[in-house]
Amino acid sequence: MSLLVVGSVAFDSVETPIDKIDKALGGSATFCSVASSYFSDDVKMVGVVGEDFGDGNIQMLKNHKIDISGLDIVEGEKTFSYGCVYRDDMNIRDTLFTDLNVFEKFDPVIPGEMKSSPFLLLGNIMPALQLKVLDQMTDVKFSVCDTMNLWIDITRDDLLKVIKRVSLLVINDSEAKMLADEDNLIKAAKKVMEMGPEYLIVKKGEHGALLFGEGKIFSAPAYPLETVFDPTGAGDSFAGGFMGYLTKVDEINFEAMKKAVLYGSTLASFCVGEFSTKGIENKTKEEIEARFNEFVELSRV
Amino acid sequence: MSLLVVGSVAFDSVETPIDKIDKALGGSATFCSVASSYFSDDVKMVGVVGEDFGDGNIQMLKNHKIDISGLDIVEGEKTFSYGCVYRDDMNIRDTLFTDLNVFEKFDPVIPGEMKSSPFLLLGNIMPALQLKVLDQMTDVKFSVCDTMNLWIDITRDDLLKVIKRVSLLVINDSEAKMLADEDNLIKAAKKVMEMGPEYLIVKKGEHGALLFGEGKIFSAPAYPLETVFDPTGAGDSFAGGFMGYLTKVDEINFEAMKKAVLYGSTLASFCVGEFSTKGIENKTKEEIEARFNEFVELSRV
């Protein structure tokens, strides 16, 4: 099966309490695609970058067998750049700068054969763009949308339109409460599902994740990390690992999604161990299976 | 096997965002004993109350087959009374009053035959009193200590002495971080275990609980509650259910403790559904098994 990933591609300048890095590869489409590439050889990525993107980054994506024919490289423009500082507990980041550059005019055009992808992952970008992608798709079997508090805040109506049209929404716990205007997480989750999606994943960071659907709930543990080096991209890596696994097994049901949540958690746990995409590059299938089995073991009774 | 429970017995006046209650039965020994009574017919409770304690409360404990020959009823004195208000998110409570009354002079004297109890649960009371209990015990095989932020703050040295002598410490996540002076929960847990106990349980409220020991970690899910009616006694009920199950199976190893954590979580989830001990009174074994199985199912892959 093929998986289409649409989202941002960016250069991230990140400062954590431990270290800092300048202009490293980032963006939702990047993390999602690399994470999903461990499960499917048919991952297609649609996004936009400037002429400064660099051969090294192109090569890394190609090494992961990601089809980047839908990655628009615009001459004379610069790649979207984002800078932030994480506070001591790593749960809050303060934005230092957002240079949209080429991303400002991003108008996702899905190349012909990609429009019929059965699996679609809408990485975290402006909901209006996610809607444009949905409008172009012809045969989507299972679609996932990731989002963030900013869009709940400033483009709620568009976001609600997206949510109504996707199969699964992935969101973090504070965002779920914000979207539903409800303090209790379980009540909030039910209210969000009434907005449209058949399935919902609530990410809880260091407390794991919850999957809702088919009238059931699955509680996934968090990996017991002693050091979070850089949380940037963890949510995207989660979504990518989740969707990669589902694309691979080509099954759309709660049991398959439980495993997919643990594969997503696996990729997210690797992601936070290093800056940029370094934590999820060049992993072996054995490393991924071993970490997945650790996740299973963590909650096995 | 027999289980000795030592702790406070109190009247709680509680106000939550939903409702309020005046002078309802509470206290760590009370919740711990009632919760553990579902697993063992040999639960012995040591504590102190005033002459106002009331026949109804005595009868409820007897109905649960709890041996209350070690419950000292002091003539002319009043039972320890505590009043608090929970804030909207139920995670913080503000104390309204603390009338120690008869509890002020509580000096736990363990009756003869109870000194040889193989299982000991030290409910949340002043660490100096927990030490006095430990000094009287002759054949403890497995001991658990519960505590709270107040004791970490004001009687840290005594608490460290207790921790060094018990088999397992049960504590919540913010307390673990406070005790270890460490922001990362996994690092904090490791530091706390270096203080003495062979096993450690970190309660995370709506995020479940973590069990540490034998070089392993078990992550237990939280029950997906849409309404927390009153959190008072949830931690005590957890400890009681945990210890009751271990007493019943008489096994001291990580595998047994994993199930014990889920039975503790089961009793805690019942506790928060009603005021006082009402949520954990008169449960059937079928109700407990059904809820336990729901916990197992929540994280089953």
The tens digit of pLDDT for each residue in B67-101 reads 999 999 999 999 999 999 998 878 788 999 999 99
Contact A81, A99 (CB under 8 A): yes
How many other C-beta atoms lie within 10 A of the C-beta of residue B195? 14
How many other C-beta atoms lie within 10 A of the C-beta of residue B286? 8
Within an 8 Å CB–CB cutoff, is residue A210 touching chain B? Answer: yes
Euclidean distance between CA atoms B1 and B227, whole angstroms: 36
Q: Which of B207, B214, B249 best probes binding to A when mutated, by most A CB atoms within 10 angstroms?
A: B207
Model confidence at A89: pLDDT above 80:
no
Collapsing DSSP to helix, strand or coil, A272 comes out as coil
Model confidence at A287: pLDDT above 80:
yes
Q: Please give the helix or strand (H or E) that residue A220 lies within, else none.
A: strand A216-220
Q: Which of A190, A217, A227 sits opposite B298 (nearest CB)?
A: A217
**Among candidate residues B34, B30, B31, B27, the one with its CA nearest the CA of residue B10:** B27
pLDDT (0 to 100) of residue A22? 95
Mean pLDDT (whole number) for A102-128: 96
**Among candidate residues B179, B138, B136, B133, the one with its CA nearest the CA of residue B160:** B179
Tracing tokens 């090294």 back to the chain, one arrives at: A56
**Among candidate residues B9, B13, B150, B4, the one with its CA nearest the CA of residue B77:** B9
Q: How confident is the prediction for chain B on average, in pLDDT?
A: 96
Model confidence at A6: pLDDT above 90:
yes
Q: Which of A219, A272, A289, A300 best probes binding to B when mutated, by most B CB atoms within 10 angstroms?
A: A219
How many other C-beta atoms lie within 10 A of the C-beta of residue B156? 13
Euclidean distance between CA atoms B271 and B120, whole angstroms: 22
Tens-place pLDDT, residues A25-60: 999 999 999 999 999 999 999 999 999 999 999 999
Task: Kindly list the strands in the beta sheet with A81-86, ordered across the sheet, starting from the edge strand earlier in the chain.
Answer: A20-26, A10-15, A81-86, A93-99
pLDDT (0 to 100) of residue B91? 77
Tens-place pLDDT, residues B219-269: 999 999 998 999 999 999 999 999 999 999 999 999 999 999 999 999 999
- B135 CA: distance to closest CA in chain A (Å): 35
Euclidean distance between CA atoms A202 and A220, whole angstroms: 10
pTM value is 0.95
Q: How confident is the prediction for chain A on average, in pLDDT?
A: 96
- Is A296 within 8 Å of B296 when comparing Cβ atoms? no
Contact A129, A2 (CB under 8 A): no
Tens-place pLDDT, residues A148-181: 999 999 999 999 999 999 999 999 999 999 999 9
Euclidean distance between CA atoms A247 and A40, whole angstroms: 7
∠ Cα B3 B8 B12 (to 5°) = 130
Distance of CA A250 to the CA centre of its chain: 19
With 0-12 CB in 10 A as exposed, 13-18 as middle and 19+ as buried, what is A174?
middle
pLDDT (0 to 100) of residue B89? 76
* Positions in chain B whose pLDDT score sits under 70: none
Within an 8 Å CB–CB cutoff, is residue A206 touching chain B? Answer: yes
- What lies within 8 Å, CB to CB, of A128 at 6+ separation is A155, A158
* Predicted-assembly ipTM surpassing the 0.90 threshold: yes
Euclidean distance between CA atoms A203 and A219, whole angstroms: 10
- Is A298 within 8 Å of B218 when comparing Cβ atoms? yes
pLDDT (0 to 100) of residue B141? 98
pLDDT (0 to 100) of residue B88? 81
Q: Which of B185, B221, B226 sits opposite A206 (nearest CB)?
A: B185
Tens-place pLDDT, residues A70-81: 999 999 999 999
Model confidence at A281: pLDDT above 90:
yes
pLDDT (0 to 100) of residue B46? 98
Beta strands in B38-187 (DSSP E): 43-50, 66-74, 81-86, 93-99, 119-122, 142-146, 168-172
Query: Which amino acid would we find at residue B294?
Result: E
Tens-place pLDDT, residues A212-252: 999 999 999 999 999 899 999 999 999 999 999 999 999 99
Query: Which amino acid would we find at residue B185?
Result: L
Neighboring chain A residues of B210 at a CB cutoff of 8 Å: 224
Helix axes B127-136, B156-165, angle to 10 degrees: 30
First and final C-alpha spacing in chain A: 34
Task: Kindly list the strands in the beta sheet with B199-203, ordered across the sheet, starting from the edge strand earlier in the chain.
Answer: B66-74, B43-50, B3-6, B119-122, B142-146, B168-172, B199-203, B209-213, B216-220
Neighboring chain A residues of B226 at a CB cutoff of 8 Å: 184, 186-187, 190
Q: Which of A88, A258, A298 sits opposite B183 (nearest CB)?
A: A88
Model confidence at A91: pLDDT above 80:
no
pLDDT (0 to 100) of residue A144? 98
How many other C-beta atoms lie within 10 A of the C-beta of residue B116? 13
- B58 CA: distance to closest CA in chain A (Å): 36
